[in-house]
A and B are shown apart, each in its own frame.
Chain A
């Protein structure tokens, strides 16, 4: 069974600084997707960034980038130039891409990291 581990329950960063959130996962699959979701107090899960396992290049979305180390099964999120609006819970998630449209397309989540951006 796949598992996702986020070892940092809480993190704090000063506005405009850079912060890295850690995530490791365990799977025997070779083809899968990894995600970072942001959950602000509104509770809605917002997709931050997505990485396909078959791509060696790390995904980047504006101030957000990942460090994907497939052999180490590590998928960390770097937030550059942190803003107050980045304060939220961040979840790392895994999805097996083996059979799209089937029951295996469920996201498996870590327990989250609460990020506080300080002014």
Chain B
């Protein structure tokens, strides 16, 4: 596609349920990032995938959070046993990293509300 696509756009879930958020990056982009944006906060780095390398999971806030990227393309962020503090906008970005070419393209995010 022309841009980074995220689904669903909005998600309301009950506390304790599991949710899956999907990110479809720009074709050919080797790097994919997940960020979390809480109300009144900046963007918080969660996880980074680059090609076939082991992902950088250093930003995941707890073991309830996990992500995978299948076939170097689509990524799914899973939050298990959701808590109210998980309510936020989850943004995905993809990038082609090469010398002289630095830049992210962001999706429109998924707004997650845990009730």
Contact = CB atoms under 8 A, between A and B. Distances in A.
Interface of A: 4, 6, 33, 42-47, 50, 91, 93, 95, 97, 100-103, 105-112
- Best-surrounded residue of B48, B89, B95, B104 (most CB of chain A within 10 A): B104
Majority DSSP secondary structure for residues of A touching B: loop
Contacts of A43: 89, 91, 108-109, 111
Interface stretch (B13-21, B35-43, B66-74): B35-43
B7 to A, nearest CB: 13
Interface residues of B, number: 30
B25 to A, nearest CB: 14
A107 to B, nearest CB: 7
Majority DSSP secondary structure for residues of B touching A: strand
Contacts of B50: 101-103, 105
B99 A106 contact: no
Nearest to B91: A45
A106 to B, nearest CB: 5
B43 A44 contact: no
Given A44-B108, A45-B93, A50 B42 contact: no
A49 to B, nearest CB: 11
A3 to B, nearest CB: 10
Given A44-B108, A102-B50, 11 more contacts: A6-B42, A43-B91, A44-B106, A100-B97, A101-B51, A101-B97, A101-B98, A103-B56, A103-B58, A106-B33, A109-B42
B99 to A, nearest CB: 7
Contact of B41 (A103, A106, A111): A111
Given A43-B91, A45-B93, A102-B50, A107 B104 contact: yes
Contacts of B108: 42-44
A105 B29 CA distance: 14
Contacts of B102: 33, 50, 95, 97, 100, 105
